Amino acid sequence: MDKEKHIKIVAWLYIVHSGLLVLSAIGVLFSLTLTGLFSGELAGIVIAPIVVALIMVLLALPGLLAGKGLLEGKGWARVLAMVLGALNLFSFPFGTALCVYTFWVLWGQDADPVFEPGYGSYH
């Protein structure tokens, strides 16, 4: 498998990983809101799920941006993906695997040409 395909796989892994976080945020929003409705404590409990869901979505945005940028061959996305990979290192086992795969694919000189302007059909 060539380097381009591995980069696309990393990109989609970040998009899926972040997409699952967004779906979790939606689940938190609905479940905590329903809990507030059934408990009768609507005033204080409705704000908390909105804040939690917004924080989760904000945490998902860098992964979505990194994935989209990698698919477009942007150099900044390579750096962002490696930073996110390092942050995922301690999220065992899936985050650790994502970190190792990200660094294996994006680190090194063999990935450099892929992110240069005018490289093949990748851009």
Q: What is the CA radius of gyration of the chain?
A: 18
Element (H, E) at 2: none
On whether residue 68 sits in a domain, the answer given is: yes
Is residue 56 in a domain?
A: yes
The verdict on residue 76 lying in a domain is yes
Determine the longest span between alpha carbons in the chain, in angstroms.
Answer: 60
pLDDT digits (tens, 9 = 90+) for 1-17: 688 899 999 999 999 99
85 CB-contact burial (10 Å; exposed 0-12 / middle 13-18 / buried 19+):
buried
| Assigned domain for 13 exists | yes
- Asked whether residue 38 is assigned to any structural domain, the reply reads yes
Q: Rounded distance, CA 96 to CA 23, Å?
A: 21
Q: pTM here?
A: 0.85
Domain coverage including residue 95: 3-106
- Is 111 a member of any domain? no
Asked whether residue 112 is assigned to any structural domain, the reply reads: no
99-112 tens-digit pLDDT = 999 999 998 777 77
pLDDT mean over 82-100: 94
- Between the alpha carbon of residue 97 and those of residues 53, 92, 93, 109, the distances in Å are 26, 8, 6, 22
Tally the domains of the chain: 1
For 118: left if phi > 0, alpha if psi spans -120 to 50, otherwise beta; the answer is: left
DSSP 114: G
The answer to whether position 14 is within a domain reads: yes
pLDDT at residue 42, as a whole number? 62
